[in-house]
Structure 1
């Protein structure tokens, strides 16, 4: 095709900004290959009407799992399966949205190494509707099933329940496989970096990674700060800073 360069191109530096939510995580369970229903990821989910009238199990305990299960509850028979109970964070407090508090309190700036001490579990941001639905029984949460058996999932204790769809709200990994031949990734496909600067490949930096440098790294609030951080070492590399100081 005209206008497309087919020859390999060399570059003095590269910014990998292909996002944190492009490669769905799809865990597997015993018996899954023989399951006669569908196993989908929320990345495949578009419209609740597509699953109307079906028995659906949503796997996960974050915002996506709860929001999708709540929406599907209007048209389908739905349960949430998770390894730990759901935990809720109010959307508004003292007249302000939670995002106001994340920014004004400085929580957005906390580094990942500190966050593991203060955030012990996944939180669902809630206007009050989700908690109320769970407490009223409209939204059902069950312990994670242990496997599949034909047309059914097998719940802890051995109960077998026929299910039409298992919908995975199990997160994503960065879409960085194009860097694998360069040795820039772990065997699991995660970037080897510190604060968004590659620790194995000079001239390679990242933007938009979840918890790259802080809680807000993969949000519009935080990505600009990360960009300012990584551009310095990238520019120095491209200016050949080592040669300029005689090294």
Structure 2
């Protein structure tokens, strides 16, 4: 049962992945105290997380994603990732790292807590935002939304999809290539995950790779400068309220170790997107038929922002107007891990910048 009066707090952080923990760390560094530890007069924050355990999306990744092949790990602020065996599963190493981080800095993450809605308490632009959850309601001066994308896998719709008699799954549901041994697998998507799983599955199954557009391979490594360039490429889109788009749409296809491996074995063969799906396979644009036992949709994710609907911030183009991690239409709301801050490097920076703005805003409210 929800309390009669919402619990007052200065900042609510929604999500305890990379971006949320970064924000919590910087809040604590700037004098904010977890709500349950605060004395009278201290500024407070609370971190809410929907997962039952620490680790953000890392705890849900497939078991074959090893530390050596993880794309773009970046340490949380103030505590480096401990040395790990490159062959160790990332879902074993990184959630433990996140758990130790939460304990080391006493962030007091509340979980599992499902946020149902964020709405304005009243018409006062300097008033509070109500964060309604399955474990009560908080009345906050600022909300830092860091819910990421993992819970919103994107499934494109194609004619005949419901007729397919084989198995369809999204990357979010993937466990291991072994489950496809001896089968024919159509892999849809040109992103990093699609190519990585193409390489992995092709060792045990017959693969058929399709994408909507011909990949434009870039010879440069997808290193930190390339990722920073991708972040910069998305900033203008979210400022205008457009959906962020994918990293691939900004940077093109960079050669990764698994892309090179698939190329060497002759399985990195791209085909155009099929036109329709039939009971036992897919029909190609030229009319030919390709049999399939499995269709694996490596088609990305969308931001998990449905709980923000009561604020009515979504533009006609389907995005949110955001600049430097802050909503342009609701300044009490910060969206980090969204758009240009979706990478781990960007998420750390966005957490820090959001807290700087909150500190400035808190000072203005106190003046």
Tell me whether the two structures share a fold, i.e. TM-score over 0.5: yes
Q: Residue 255 of structure 2 aligns with which residue? A: 125
1:130-169 to 2 correspondence within 5 Å?
130-131=259-260, 133-134=262-263, 137-169=266-298
1:21-170 to 2 correspondence within 5 Å?
21-90=150-219, 98-102=222-226, 107=229, 110-112=232-234, 122-127=252-257, 130-131=259-260, 133-134=262-263, 137-170=266-299
Paired residues of 2:177 and 2:200 also in contact (CA < 8 A): yes
Alignment partners' CA distance in 2, 1:38 and 1:238: 52
Question: Secondary structure in 2 aligned to 1:64?
Answer: helix
Alignment partners' CA distance in 1, 2:163 and 2:231: 46
Paired residues of 1:66 and 1:124 also in contact (CA < 8 A): no
Question: Secondary structure in 1 aligned to 2:259?
Answer: helix
Q: Residue 19 of structure 1 aligns with which residue? A: 148
Deviation at 1:140, TM superposition (A): 2.7
Deviation at 1:40, TM superposition (A): 1.0
What's the TM-score, normalizing by structure 1?
0.77
What's the TM-score, normalizing by structure 2?
0.54
Alignment partners' CA distance in 1, 2:164 and 2:363: 57
Alignment partners' CA distance in 2, 1:186 and 1:39: 32
Paired residues of 1:20 and 1:172 also in contact (CA < 8 A): yes
Q: Residue 95 of structure 1 aligns with which residue? A: none
Q: Residue 343 of structure 2 aligns with which residue? A: 219
CA shift digits 1:186-233 (9 cap, x unpaired): 47864332232112223110111132xxxxx22332223222332333
Q: Residue 228 of structure 1 aligns with which residue? A: 352
Shift of the 229–30 alpha-carbon distance from structure 1 to 2, 3 Å rule, reads same
Cα RMSD for the two superposed structures: 3.2
Deviation at 1:8, TM superposition (A): 2.2
Paired residues of 2:235 and 2:323 also in contact (CA < 8 A): no
Which has the larger displacement, 161-170 or 17-26?
17-26
Paired residues of 2:148 and 2:338 also in contact (CA < 8 A): yes
Which has the larger displacement, 229-238 or 138-147?
229-238
Structure 1 gap segments, 5+ residues each: 93-97, 212-216
Deviation at 1:100, TM superposition (A): 4.8
Deviation at 1:141, TM superposition (A): 1.7
Question: Secondary structure in 2 aligned to 1:202?
Answer: coil
Structure 2 gap segments, 5+ residues each: 2-109, 114-133, 238-244
Q: Residue 209 of structure 1 aligns with which residue? A: 338
Shift of the 171–237 alpha-carbon distance from structure 1 to 2, 3 Å rule, reads same
Higher relative contact order (CA 8 A, sep 6+): 1
Question: Secondary structure in 1 aligned to 2:141?
Answer: coil
Alignment partners' CA distance in 2, 1:24 and 1:139: 24
